[in-house]
């Protein structure tokens, strides 16, 4: 006999991928097998009744970066959301989390921050400019030292939007290593190549990735786990992107989790969602604390 009271879980997405990213659609069958009615729902759709869900799981909400405050206000309004609101607020600002990681002794890719009105000194080696609040690689580009004028143009655009810019070294074809965790436990890893656009590349919603399954080393896992330990709150999922053994980005809001590259990972994620939904806990929008009901 099936569950007479199935849990309803919203898989929050954005209008550009209203039916979910293909990788996230791999979750639907294993969730259904566990009695979970999983519903793709666009986060800023005013017709969605979020209180009708036992749990909201953030997935492909990839258009939040240009209106982060509105997005955070929505996240805080939810009764039960994973990852929780305090984690989302902290992890969607790269300046905040990179500072905490560095202070905690976690190796991070060297980064300079340029707030609106701040001075820009062009690096002497190839470099990347991007906003501290960003998604999909939008408003990000690589530059040669001789392209300082073009870099200033991008900085000016980022600053005009009220955002702080960040400058990191560009390491050419160096591969990123992305480690995925589910329920705080290592799940799988991929090698990522994300060809950053040059200054004159056309704007896109998100950059295409070249993904290959791999196995994380013991050292990579130690760095990733030290990184995740810096987050305060219950983590349903997390992804740590490493470059040269150092943290390039920490993804706790809406990362691709590459289920197609991790055998059994969609099933593990579905099991973690089902467990979270069954506990009938609610997170206070004010402080993110959980209580059993």
All CATH 3.40.50 domain ranges of the chain, comma separated, are 7-92+266-291
Of 124, 202, 218, 286, which is the active-site residue? 202
CA pair distance 139, 197, nearest whole angstrom? 10
Parts of the chain belonging to CATH 3.30.470.20: 173-258
Kindly state the tokens that stand for 135. Answer: 């998604």
Q: What is the pLDDT of residue 202?
A: 44
Active site residue 202: yes
pTM for the full predicted model: 0.87
- Residue extent(s) of CATH 3.30.1490 domains in the chain: 112-169
Dihedral (Cα; 102, 239, 34, 10), 10-degree rounding: 90
What CATH architecture applies to the domain 7-92+266-291? Answer: 3-Layer(aba) Sandwich (3.40)
- Clarify whether 209 is annotated catalytic: no
Catalytic entry in 89, 147, 234, 251:
251
What is the chain's pLDDT, residue by residue, as a tens digit (293 residues)?
A: 344 456 899 999 999 999 999 999 999 999 999 999 999 999 999 999 999 999 999 999 999 988 999 999 999 999 999 999 999 999 999 999 999 999 999 999 999 999 999 989 889 999 999 999 987 667 788 899 999 999 999 999 899 988 899 999 987 666 899 999 999 999 999 998 866 655 544 455 455 678 999 999 999 999 999 999 999 888 999 999 999 899 999 999 999 999 999 999 999 999 999 999 987 544 333 334 443 33
Choices 1.10.3470, 3.30.1490, 3.30.70, 1.20.120: CATH for 112-169: 3.30.1490
Asked whether the beta carbons of 192 and 175 are under 8 A apart, the reply is yes
Q: Which CATH architecture has domain 173-258?
A: 2-Layer Sandwich (3.30)
Which residue out of 68, 80, 142, 239 is catalytically annotated? 239
| Rounded distance between C-alpha atoms, residue 140 and residue 167, angstroms | 10
Instruction: Judge whether 112 counts as a catalytic residue.
Output: no
């Amino acid at each position: 006999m099936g569950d007479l009271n199935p849990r309803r879980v919203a898989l929050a997405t954005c209008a550009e991928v209203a039916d979910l990213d293909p990788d996230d659609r791999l979750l639907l069958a294993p969730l259904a097998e566990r009695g979970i009615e999983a519903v793709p729902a666009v986060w800023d759709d005013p017709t969605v009744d979020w209180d009708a869900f036992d749990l909201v799981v953030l997935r492909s909400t990839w258009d939040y970066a240009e209106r982060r405050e509105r997005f955070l206000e929505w996240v805080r309004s939810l009764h039960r959301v994973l990852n929780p609101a305090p984690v989302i607020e902290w992890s969607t600002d790269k300046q905040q989390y990179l500072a905490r990681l560095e202070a905690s002794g976690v190796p991070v890719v060297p980064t300079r921050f340029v707030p609106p009105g701040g001075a820009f000194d062009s690096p002497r080696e190839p470099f990347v400019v991007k906003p501290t609040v960003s998604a999909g690689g939008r408003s990000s580009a690589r530059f040669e030292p001789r392209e300082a004028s073009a870099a200033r143009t991008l900085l000016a655009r980022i600053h005009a939007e009220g955002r702080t810019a960040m400058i990191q070294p560009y390491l050419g074809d160096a591969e990123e290593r992305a480690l995925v965790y589910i329920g705080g436990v290592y799940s799988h890893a991929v090698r990522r190549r994300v060809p950053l656009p040059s200054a004159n590349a056309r704007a896109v919603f998100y950059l295409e990735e070249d993904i290959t399954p791999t196995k994380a080393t013991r050292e990579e896992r130690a760095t990733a786990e030290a990184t995740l330990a810096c987050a305060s709150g219950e983590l349903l999922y997390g992804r740590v992107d490493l470059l040269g053994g150092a943290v390039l980005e920490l993804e706790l809001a809406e990362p691709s989790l590459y289920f197609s590259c991790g055998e059994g990972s969609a099933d593990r994620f579905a099991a973690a969602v089902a467990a979270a939904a069954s506990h009938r806990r609610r997170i206070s929008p004010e402080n993110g604390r959980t209580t059993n009901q």
